[in-house]
Chain A
Amino acid sequence: MHLWLILAVNSVTLGGLLFLLSAGFSLIFGLMRIPNLTHGSMFMLGAYFGVSLIAAGTGFWLAALLAGLGVALFGAIIERFVLRRLIGAELAQVLVTLGLSFMVADACLMLWGGDPISVETPVALRGATAMLGMAFPTYRLAIILIAVVIAVALWGLLDRTRLGAMIRAAVDDPAMARVVGIRVSHLFTIVFSLGAGLAGFAGVIGAPILSVYPGLDQDMLPLALVVVILGGTGRLMGSLVGSFVVGFLYNFGQALFPELAYVVLFLPMLVVLVVRPQGLFGRVTL
């Protein structure tokens, strides 16, 4: 019984991290119509930035924020100077993001070495919190809380601000959005940068649990892909639901069928594909 509960908490925690990762992925897909294959690299890059910042003495939370900002800047540069050149050629954009992901992965390997680096949990959040007569690891609860706060903030941004309205308009109909005077290309930079920043931030927040190692990007990218295929693109709710589904599938799959964890993870996605092929990329007509 206790084991199941721990698994469930871990699943919700992973779901929270995945939401931070895939919310940006989904928005970028919804707006720019490309699966951003550098998204796993952004997560890993953020985690490594965090490692260096913590080593430089900034403290955990400041490191997470600065790493997020750093990765957001990196994302903005990529969008503005590389992807922008290929506007309208979605396939070329995807291939470029793939090429960039290899470059980032190798650069990280050169700069930070091949050994896994563990990140200490912030002192205030070590240990366990008693709730409902049981002990939960405090840090994992904190991650869930952070994910919820960011989910609400993102919802507020998209649903309650002028910028959000412009993004929603551009997701629904980019041509019409341009006609009414929205600078859609600016939105591309903003959303790409925001998504990258969130992924980078998630990399640092997740580091005490996942640790930081070469190949982290390749581990996270497929998870984001599955979330988006399950949850649909361009809508926060889809990412939220998809993230928690994947969080549960991944943790329970690992525990129950360690040899087939990947199959357990991808099987529901295949079922979605077979049963509802249109539901997959729902509103995007490619």
Chain B
Amino acid sequence: MKRLALAVALLALATVPFWVGNSYYVNIATQILIFAVLALGLNVLVGYAGLVTLGHAALFGVSAYAAATLINAGHGSVVVAIGASVATLVVTAIFAILALRGTGLGFVMITVALGQIVWGIAYRWISLTNGDNGISITARPAPFGLSLTSAPAFYWATLVVFLVAVGAMAMFVASPFGAALRGTRDQARRMSALGYNVWLTRFLAFLFSGFWSGVAGLLYLYYNQFVSPQTVALSASAEALLMVIAGGTATLLGPIAGAALVIIMKDVASAYIERWNFVLGAIFVVIVVFMPEGLVPGSVRLWRWAIASLRSRATAPALGRESEP
């Protein structure tokens, strides 16, 4: 049953360009996959490590900026991919070393501040980042001779990376390391007493998370062919966090559903109103206040509740509303 569902889902994903048709919607699907990779990476920290960060767009952006600079310097895809990954990992390591000095809200505040530094550099260090004008690349590179210019071709390339990311996450969750990380989230002191190096576990999780954010940043640059300070702004970090929280933290499907929700909302909302940020803020408030566990687990809960209440009504109508046994 589960395998069948997986096969159907894979088939549906692989054939998106055929049944969607219009390349505009194929591009939306591509965006969803790119941001799903970012959200999956962020979920490692937010969901499995219990470390909420508001600076993740900076890591995504560093990768995009590094890649744009390397492409404009005339380097090939392999150098660009390696260079962007190394740049992201170095910045991630700095972020991790500094942010892991705080816990809880201290951690959140440090990540906000670090994210703002990166934003400040993107915005002000004009000789490096071209300031507010951002950096554009003239054409999508063609890795290994594959042309990525058409919307479906780029969609399939993104899909491959996305599937690798999902596979990596599934392995990570099931691995002893994933279990240790969840342990540091729930019982840091006990894990420490058991001999686990809590700091190192969190540090490695941060690197893992940053790496996938960097991969998403690289895809984003290839897709958008342009990167600007807006990419690393606080609102971009908040958007990524919203994807994770809206979908449901510490689940594999949640961040993917969250990314789809946010990208589609953004697209629909921007067709009717100019002000996406207002909607973003409102969704944030509503979800946090009314559905704190996220849409996927929240819907599952509502669904179970609905089924249970239907059943109890069917079997025992005379008793009316009955509390669960």
Q: Which residues of A contact B (CB under 8 A)?
A: 33-35, 37, 82, 85-86, 89-92, 94-96, 98-103, 105-107, 109-110, 218, 222, 225-226, 229, 258-263, 265-266, 269-270, 273-274, 277, 280-281, 284, 286
B275 to chain A minimum Cβ distance, whole angstroms, is 5
Chain B 101-135 interface residues, beta-carbon cutoff 8 Å to A: 101-106, 108-110, 112-114, 116-117, 119-121, 123-127
Please report the C-alpha to C-alpha distance between residue A274 and residue B102 in the assembled complex, in whole angstroms: 10
What 7 A-B pairs have minimum CB-CB distances, sorted nearest first? A262-B120, A99-B284, A102-B281, A286-B104, A106-B278, A103-B281, A277-B101
Q: Are B124 and A262 in contact (CB under 8 A)?
A: yes
Q: Are A102 and B278 in contact (CB under 8 A)?
A: yes
A170 to chain B minimum Cβ distance, whole angstroms, is 18
Q: Are A262 and B121 in contact (CB under 8 A)?
A: yes
Q: Which of B31-39, B190-198, B285-293 forms contacts with chain A?
A: B285-293
A229 in complex: contacting residue of B113, B121, B127, B238, CB < 8 Å: B113
A-side contacts of B277, CB under 8 Å = 102-103, 105-106
Q: Are B285 and A263 in contact (CB under 8 A)?
A: no
Please report the C-alpha to C-alpha distance between residue A263 and residue B120 in the assembled complex, in whole angstroms: 7
Please report the C-alpha to C-alpha distance between residue A217 and residue B289 in the assembled complex, in whole angstroms: 24
Please tell me if B280 contacts chain A, counting CB pairs below 8 Å: yes
- With A96-B288, A98-B238, A218-B234 known as contacts, the answer to whether A274 contacts B98 (CB < 8 A) is yes
B-side contacts of A259, CB under 8 Å = 124-127
A-side contacts of B278, CB under 8 Å = 102-103, 106-107, 110
A222 in complex: contacting residue of B108, B112, B238, B283, CB < 8 Å: B112
B106 in complex: contacting residue of A96, A101, A280, CB < 8 Å: A280
Please report the C-alpha to C-alpha distance between residue A279 and residue B66 in the assembled complex, in whole angstroms: 35
Q: Which residues of B contact A (CB under 8 A)?
A: 52, 54, 98, 101-106, 108-110, 112-114, 116-117, 119-121, 123-127, 233-235, 238, 241, 245, 275, 277-278, 280-285, 288-289, 292
Q: Is the interface of A mostly helix, strand, loop or mixed?
A: helix
Q: Are B116 and A94 in contact (CB under 8 A)?
A: no
Q: Are A222 and B284 in contact (CB under 8 A)?
A: no
Q: Are B117 and A92 in contact (CB under 8 A)?
A: no
Q: Are A225 and B124 in contact (CB under 8 A)?
A: no
A30 to chain B minimum Cβ distance, whole angstroms, is 12
- With A94-B108, A229-B113 known as contacts, the answer to whether A286 contacts B288 (CB < 8 A) is no
Q: Are B102 and A280 in contact (CB under 8 A)?
A: yes
B105 in complex: contacting residue of A85, A90, A102, A270, CB < 8 Å: A90
Q: What are 15 A-to-B residue pairs whose CB atoms are below 8 Å? A: A33-B105, A86-B288, A96-B288, A99-B282, A99-B284, A99-B288, A102-B280, A103-B282, A260-B121, A260-B125, A261-B120, A262-B124, A263-B121, A274-B98, A286-B106
